[in-house]
A = this chain, B = another copy of it.
């Protein structure tokens, strides 16, 4: 697969998992030792922590939310590593974070056998102009 397809494949898996509110499925595309930095600047290391952390927000502040991910840019850093940038649009139906939020993620994917796994995901809310 080319870098764009690799990035889109991962983005669509993450999107489906978010929209199913399934923390374990969200963590599945990540490498076991992956690092995740969320919009609050908090680092979660390891896919178990990524699964647990996401299940927690799916069950609370982001309950009922839907996300759309668009991998708009991807390139190879070398023959095993892909760097991608992903636009996220998050729709939260209620609670303290109700509304539509846009974010931009930098995603690093590393080839592991026949597939690429997410080694790093860093997400930042896009500020109002």
Q: B-contacting residues of A (Cβ < 8 Å)?
A: 33, 35, 37, 39-43, 73, 75, 77-78, 80-81, 83, 85, 102-104, 106, 108, 110, 119-120, 122-127
Contact = CB atoms under 8 A, between A and B. Distances in A.
Copies of chain A in the complex: 2
Can you list the 7 inter-chain pairs with the closest CB atoms, starting with the nearest?
Answer: A41-B126, A40-B127, A106-B122, A122-B122, A41-B124, A41-B104, A124-B124
A43 B104 contact: yes
B106 A120 contact: yes
B110 A78 contact: yes
A106 B106 contact: yes
Contact of A35 (B40, B42, B80, B85): B85
Contacts of A85: 35, 37, 43
Nearest to A110: B77
A104 B37 contact: yes
